[in-house]
Amino acid sequence: AAAMGVNRSTLVTALDNLAASGMIEGRHGGGTYVTGSSWHSLAHASLPNWSEAAQEGSYYPNLPEIQQINQAEFRPGIIRLGTGELAPELMPNAAFNDILQTLSCRTRTLNYIEPQGSLELRKALSLHLQTSGIQASPDSILIVSGSLQALHLISVGLLPRGSAVLLEKPSYLYSIHAFQSAGLKLNGIPLDEEGLDLGHLDRAIQIAKRVSSENGDESLPLLYTIPSFHNPTGGVMSRERREQLLSLARSSGISILEDAAYQELWLEQPPPPSLKAHDLEGRVLHMGTLSKAVSPGLRLGWLVGPVPVIRRLADIKMQTDYGTSSLAQEAAAAWFADGHHASHMTWLRPELRKRKAFMLALLQQHFHDIAEWTSPEGGFYIWLRFSVEPLSMRRLFHACLDEDVLIHPGYLYDRLDTKHIRLSYAYASFDEMERGLICLAHAARKLL
Ligand code: PMP
């Protein structure tokens, strides 16, 4: 009171009045406390400016459209034409019900477990990865809470701030955010029908090397790539391009982070072997997930890499979240051990084939004169390019949202894109696909 220049008795009277009206509580020997409900009114003058504080920190905010998508997705009745998830009816609910019932008998699932991940699950994954030609011992596997977490761990635990990350242009949108927020310099490499443009990549590597040696450090760039059923384009890197890429990586010394999120979701035949399957020297880090083929809600992914990398990232994981949910890991271990995975994939592929064919037929019917599109061999995505102009993707996004139809414009994946949208045949029901695409075609024609 003295410091504020206020008479003590004035203050005591004021406090008594506040106590009488229930706005503060006195505690014996412990001073006076503002009660929960009236905290705002009393403490207003000393409140931090939360709006300003909410702009701070190292994370970039999502683009407004991404924030709108993330909110609108949970609106009842919304049609989700771009969602990169299996429809609820394609998820293995019955199998997980059974698995979870047997797990509840075991007490250890309720404990913390080692941050690198359950040994049982790592052993199961080691076997599973062999089916894709990848030799990974359990100690070279880190279990992560969704593969997006692997991108964050690598960004903060392996890559020096300011070092270069090369990635496909366009690319998975949250990879861009993870790298940017960690202060890494991104350089987008264009794609052609066989995958990454290696001439362009080679030049980008040379530039990155020159920049780091001018800055007095010898850090080499990392290449982040999604070779099979790319997000958002759906494309597949050819076998030849994969071989050439590995040889370029060897000659230039760069390391590669292979994101295999969609690799297993082939429709007619498997894609060429993963980069990791041909990596004899340990240059490739490989990440996978159960999110796309099984369940994103499990939050279960993995990273395969050299043991020192896995140990380093497990140490950071301990500091971040103490390890992935032990319950999810036990469930995932049972999922593989009981043979559910293989039978689920065999069931899922024809379902996705039907959906893809249905969406392509709708596109032919309603978009043949205004757009062209890809016909993917796996994954979820059709990359549609409007061939008419001018057509603002931003306005199209909002026009569709007003009609309760959600689309994913191309600029979410490449800030400079003006012509594409990413469509997914995995999420919307047949009826929703039809209503949603008719609405989209109508909105596009109206905006032209
Ligand atoms: N990589 C790619 C290419 C993705 O599309 C996604 C999900 N959209 C992820 C990683 C992350 O998935 P999760 O964290 O659920 O494993």
Q: Alpha helices of 235-389 — where are they, by DSSP H?
A: 239-252, 307-321, 326-337, 340-367
Contact 376, 232 (CB under 8 A): no
How far is the centre of ligand 1, averaged over its atoms, from the C-alpha of 148 (Å)? Answer: 6
Backbone CA torsion sign across 422, 425, 426, 432: positive
Report the alpha-carbon distance of residue 432 to residue 442 in Å, rounded: 15
Atom of ligand 1 nearest to the CA of 301: 16
**C-alpha 310, offset from chain centre:** 20
Residue bearing the CA closest to ligand 1, atom 8: 84
The pLDDT of residue 107 is 54
Judged on CB neighbours under 10 Å (0-12, 13-18, 19+), 416 is exposed
Task: Give me the count of residues in the chain.
Answer: 448
Alpha-carbon distances, residue 4 vs 1, 11, 434 (angstroms): 5, 11, 68
Pocket test for ligand 1, best of 83, 172, 287, 298 (most atoms within 8 A of CB): 172
Please give the distance, rounded to the nearest whole angstrom, from the Cα atom of residue 11 to the centre of ligand 1: 57
Sheet of 381-386, strands arranged across: 371-373, 381-386, 420-424, 408-409
**Sequence-distant (≥ 6) Cβ neighbours of residue 441 within 8 angstroms:** 366, 367, 370
| Ligand 1 atom closest to 296 (CA) | 15
Quick one: pLDDT at residue 44?
59
Residue of 175, 176, 231, 299 best suited for mutating to test ligand 1, as the one with most atoms within 8 Å of CB: 231
Q: What is the pLDDT of residue 24?
A: 53
Contact 234, 352 (CB under 8 A): no
Residue of 177, 224, 291 best suited for mutating to test ligand 1, as the one with most atoms within 8 Å of CB? 291
How far is the centre of ligand 1, averaged over its atoms, from the C-alpha of 261 (Å)?
6
Protein residue with its CA nearest to atom 1 in ligand 1: 261
Beta strands in 3-63 (DSSP E): 24-27, 31-34
Separation CA 174–CA 360 (nearest Å): 27
Using the mean position of ligand 1's atoms as its centre, give its distance from the Cα of residue 230 in Å: 11
Q: Which atom of ligand 1 is nearest to the CA of 147?
A: 16
Q: Which of 292, 298, 408 has most ligand 1 atoms within 8 Å of its beta carbon, as the pocket-test mutant?
A: 292
* pLDDT at position 27: 46
Residues with C-beta less than 6 Å from any ligand 1 atom: 84, 146-148, 172, 226, 231, 259, 261, 289, 291, 296, 301
DSSP category for residue 38: G
Q: Note the pLDDT tens digit of each residue in 260-302.
A: 999 999 999 999 999 999 998 999 999 999 999 999 999 999 9
Supply the pLDDT for residue 75.
93
- Atom index in ligand 1 nearest the CA of residue 85 equals 8
Give ipTM to 2 decimals: 0.99
Query: Beta-carbon neighbour count of residue 158 at 10 Å?
Result: 17
User: Which atom of ligand 1 lies at the shortest distance from residue 262's CA?
Assistant: 3
**Can you list the residues of the chain whose pLDDT is less than 70?**
1-45, 105-109
pLDDT number for residue 28: 42
The protein residue with its alpha carbon nearest to ligand 1, atom 13, reads 146
C-beta separation of 271 from 241 below 8 A? no
Q: How far is the CA of 431 from the centre of ligand 1 (A)?
A: 26
